[in-house]
Amino acid sequence: MILAHGLGGRTDLPLPIWMFSYGAALTLLASFAALAAFWPTARLEGGTGELTLARADSRVVRGLAIVIRLVGVAALALVLVAAAVGENSSQANLAPAAVYIVFWVGMLFVSGFVGDLWRVLSPFDTLVAIFRRRRHGSPPETSAAEPAGHGSSAGEAAGGHDVVDHDEPDSGYWPATVGLLGFVWVELVYPERASPRALFGLLAAYTVVMLACAARRGRGWLRRGDAFAALFGVVAHIAPLHRADDGRLRLRPPFVGLASLEWRPGLEELVLIALGSTTFDGLTRTQLWVDLTGDLDRLGSVVAGTAGLVLAIAVVAIAYFLAMGVAARRVDHRSDAEELRAAFVHSLVPIVLAYAVAHYFSLLVLEGQSSIALISDPLGRGWDLFGTAGRPVDFTLVSPLAVAYVQCAAIVVGHVAGVVLAHDRALALFDKRLATRSQHPLLVTMVLFTVGGLFLLLGG
């Protein structure tokens, strides 16, 4: 099983890579020019027309929420048991595929394309809710009282009654940011990342920390304390499904929810770590990285991988910080660089999802099939509980050329969406002239991200 790496059609492209890159860059420039000419006022800040689908407190939605929560707890228990006592092999044990493919990649895709399902599926939230309810002996509060901008989405809407604690400390996204950095290091650098036993220790430790912190500080802490809840919640602002302040499940145009993404300390760092880690994943596929690290021993590989991961995140962060610094000067310092970084970080979120799709689409579609076989024999004991244990992976399900086209499309669409969001936010902050001037540095940065991303994906 190939963990944390997708497959691409780099040698099957009908055009040279540089032509794809030029085309993508020109698309961004044309989009910016069109926005400057035909999008004169902010349109997204106040929301757009939405279609009401259902009430979050309806009997059907509540029942569905209970089922989803039970599935989440059962899935966590199954993965822990499989990792602890099952066959200590990534090929025969369900745990690695469940964590790195089904959960990490699959849930990120669901969050971006459907809604924030993790808000209901999270076993940490469910277990803490049970603990606090037994401890305090009172029914949970309704989440309808939750303030706007907390990333409520489809899964949250299904939650019906969701405790929102008001004792949440103002630590922002920093706990989640630290957790995400630790996870991507394990995913991309740690030599034993695919070992079920090592995975058990890491998952058990993370579970204990999440439950202890949430039990002490309130379930609301998980929104920005759990690395996955935080990232999935941020990405879910892209999704068409969300729960409005009145408790109704609503359908909205994709991406517009990002205009209401509420800033908290650590948000920029969370997003930049997600971007930088995916960039590093692309770098590790290149021949240059193989030549540099191929002959290193275990310790050397860890050191090189750690340095490479930190460097990739730093490069992405520096590019964004520099762009916002230049933008502050171009608007005559009517906003300082720190304010602009907070104001425009939402425009990077579509790129996070785009990079995830480009890097991991084939991993989910192809290697994700292994989970179908492993679910019948999660411990690697020779079982066939559901008749799927011998099912092989169909590598012809998607062609390398199709993967390459998906990668290109994802990168371009994600960056164009980022340009649109940044343009709209600039118009909300400045007059039209300054809004256009403020966007030039970020546009250059996004063009560089686009070209660099395509070369890493298709040239690796």
What is the structure's pLDDT at 248?
A: 77
Record the tokens describing residue 121, joined without a space. 């599926």
Q: How many CB atoms lie within 10 A of CB 100?
A: 25
* Residue 38 CB contacts under 8 Å (≥ 6 apart), including other chains: none
Q: What is the DSSP letter of 128?
A: H
Rounded Cα gap, residues 219 and 127, in angstroms: 10
H, E, C per residue of 308-347: HHHHHHHHHHHHHHHHHHHHHHHCCCCCCHHHHHHHHHHH
> Per residue in 279-320, pLDDT tens?
999 999 888 999 999 899 999 999 999 999 999 999 999 999
A 10 A CB-CB count for 77 gives 11
Eight-class DSSP state of 248: E
Residue 185 binned pLDDT confidence (cut-offs 50, 70, 90): very high
Neighbours of 387 (CB within 10 A): 8
Average pLDDT value for the chain:
87
386 pLDDT more than 70: yes
Asked whether the predicted pLDDT for residue 148 surpasses 60, the reply is no
Residue 165, pLDDT score? 46
Residue 333 predicted with pLDDT over 50: yes
pLDDT at residue 157 in the model: 37
> pLDDT band at residue 5, thresholds of 50, 70 and 90?
low
Measured CA to CA, the distance from residue 167 to residue 181 in angstroms comes to 26
The CA angle 224-227-230, to the nearest 5 degrees, is 45
Q: What is the pTM of this model?
A: 0.90
Tokens representing residue 238 in the block: 């892209």
Residue type, position 367, single letter: E
Span 163-189, average pLDDT: 82
The whole-angstrom separation of Cα 70 and Cα 72 is 5
Q: What's the angle, vertex CA 366, arms to CA 364 and CA 367, rounded to 5?
A: 70
User: Comparing C-alpha atoms, which of 321, 344, 353, 330 is closest to residue 433?
Assistant: 330
